[in-house]
């Protein structure tokens, strides 16, 4: 059959655009119009690993679809399951890059943490992905496809919530993240409610404005990590470009409930004075505070805040009227913090090469 429908493939389009492309192709080939819906729902709503699995379609159509609308895959290179039920996936992409997702079950809720870039340019000192540097942006398919792959592996694992808190800075890859949000949220896409989708950012202001301009109620999490400009600069180089005051002003303009993410690092941001300053900022912005224990794998030179200090820090926020939650470190036994599985895999490979004498 005829030329390719789109250069990037149907899975890189919003569900509405993909349906249009399929509809045009169906019409061009004189096929019945109801085929459009049958085909389109196989992209995201009721995904198939290959068109051959869409057995409601005639065999000749399935063959034609393989050529016209190929269904790319992310290859699960490693899947690790933690004792607490957390699953961590390392996906190998077509060009050899690798990114991670983490599926965290909690009661009836299944939260999937997805990556938006391979690596990250922003170099926060506590973050394994930051140490890797920037490799490249992910495509819309590579972002939303992390959810698709989970569903293909086991439909019962379909996430109820998605957070853009894996590798990369989502708001530095806005065009692809923009499309991926539509795929996740649209009823004819993955159908995940906008309030159950959270974009996490260090405060890329132009991106925050673009997210705010979308009509859906997507959630925003801001990685604050320090309550004053100088303390923030010591751990997050992005503070030079988008400073705390400007980020907080953009957060207020967002006009939807936001969350502050705050990794507690021993001696760097965990004093009572830090808690008091953070409480003031959170009250001003009407923000919830998520306190994250430092995952040691991300930063060998830094020290996690001891549990008793974490509790005292959280209580101090609550006593000042701030809603604060201490996130449990999920999947500690499988290195489930962003970027760590990939770093570990590469270290293992280097060791294996050294052991086999390949580099000597």
Give me the residues that bind ligand SAH (CB under 6 A), please.
126-127, 165, 169, 200-202, 223, 261, 263, 292, 294-295, 298-299, 337-338
* Spacing of C-alpha 56 from chain mean position: 33
Q: Which of 45, 56, 100, 142 is catalytic?
A: 100
How many other C-beta atoms are found inside a 10 Å radius of the C-beta of residue 286?
A: 14
| Position among 120, 152, 294, 322 found at the interface with ligand SF4 (CB under 6 A) | 120
Q: Which of 28, 124, 338, 344 is catalytic?
A: 338
**Alpha-carbon span 313 to 270, nearest angstrom:** 7
Q: Is 100 a catalytic residue?
A: yes
Choose between 42 and 135: whose C-beta lies nearer to ligand SF4.
135
Question: Does residue number 116 form part of the binding site for ligand SF4 (CB under 6 A)?
Answer: no
Choose between 150 and 264: whose C-beta lies nearer to ligand SAH.
264
Residue nearest to ligand SF4 (CB): 130
Contact partner at residue 22 from ligand SAH, ligand SF4, none, CB < 5 to 8 Å by partner kind: none
Question: Does residue number 275 form part of the binding site for ligand SF4 (CB under 6 A)?
Answer: no
Q: In the range 185-214, which residues lie near ligand SF4 by CB under 6 A? A: 202
Q: In the range 213-242, which residues lie near ligand SF4 by CB under 6 A? A: 223
Smallest distance, ligand SF4 to C-beta of residue 257, A: 21
Q: In the range 310-349, which residues lie near ligand SF4 by CB under 6 A? A: 338
Question: Does residue number 129 form part of the binding site for ligand SF4 (CB under 6 A)?
Answer: yes
Choose between 129 and 185: whose C-beta lies nearer to ligand SF4.
129
Choose between 62 and 330: whose C-beta lies nearer to ligand SAH.
330
The alpha carbons of the chain give a radius of gyration, in whole angstroms, of 22
Long-range contacts of 73-81 (CB under 8 A, 24+ apart): 73/49, 73/145, 73/149, 74/142, 74/145, 74/146, 74/149, 76/149, 76/153, 77/345, 78/341, 78/345, 80/334, 80/335, 80/336, 80/341, 81/334
Question: Does residue number 168 form part of the binding site for ligand SF4 (CB under 6 A)?
Answer: yes
| Position among 68, 100, 149, 169 found at the interface with ligand SF4 (CB under 6 A) | 169
Residues lying near ligand SF4 in the complex (CB under 6 A) are found at: 120, 122-124, 127, 129-130, 168-169, 202, 223, 338
Give catalytic residues, as residue numbers: 100, 338
């Amino acid at each position: 059959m005829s030329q390719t429908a789109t250069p990037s493939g149907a899975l890189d389009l919003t569900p509405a655009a993909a349906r249009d492309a399929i509809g045009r192709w169906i019409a061009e080939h004189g096929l019945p119009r109801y085929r459009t819906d049958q085909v389109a729902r196989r992209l995201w709503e009721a995904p198939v690993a290959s068109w051959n699995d869409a057995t409601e379609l005639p065999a000749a159509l399935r063959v034609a679809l393989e050529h016209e609308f190929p269904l790319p895959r992310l290859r699960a290179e490693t899947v690790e399951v933690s004792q607490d039920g957390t699953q961590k996936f390392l996906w190998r992409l077509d060009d050899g890059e690798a990114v991670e997702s983490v599926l965290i079950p909690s009661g009836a809720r299944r939260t999937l943490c997805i990556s938006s870039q391979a690596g990250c340019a922003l170099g926060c000192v506590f973050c394994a992905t930051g140490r890797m540097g920037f490799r490249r942006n992910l495509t819309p398919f590579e972002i939303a496809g992390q959810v698709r792959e989970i569903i293909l592996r086991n439909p019962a694992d379909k996430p109820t919530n998605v957070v853009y808190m894996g590798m990369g800075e989502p708001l530095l890859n806005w065009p692809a993240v923009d499309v991926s949000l539509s795929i996740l949220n649209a009823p004819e896409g993955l159908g995940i409610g906008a309030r159950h989708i959270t974009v996490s950012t260090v405060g890329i202001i132009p991106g925050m404005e673009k997210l705010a301009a979308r009509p859906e109620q997507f959630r925003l999490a801001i990685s604050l990590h320090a309550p004053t400009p100088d303390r923030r600069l010591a751990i997050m180089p992005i503070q030079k470009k988008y400073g705390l005051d400007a980020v907080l002003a953009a957060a207020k303009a967002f006009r939807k409930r936001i969350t502050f993410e705050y990794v507690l690092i021993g001696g760097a941001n965990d004093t009572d004075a830090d808690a008091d300053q953070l409480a003031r900022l959170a009250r001003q912005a009407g923000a919830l505070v998520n306190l994250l224990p430092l995952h040691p794998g991300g930063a060998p030179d830094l020290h996690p805040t001891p549990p008793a200090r974490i509790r005292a820090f959280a209580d101090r926020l609550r006593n000042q009227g701030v809603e604060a939650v201490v996130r449990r470190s999920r999947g500690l036994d499988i290195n489930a913090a962003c970027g760590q599985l990939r770093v570990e895999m590469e270290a293992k490979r280097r060791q294996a090469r050294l052991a086999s004498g390949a580099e000597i």
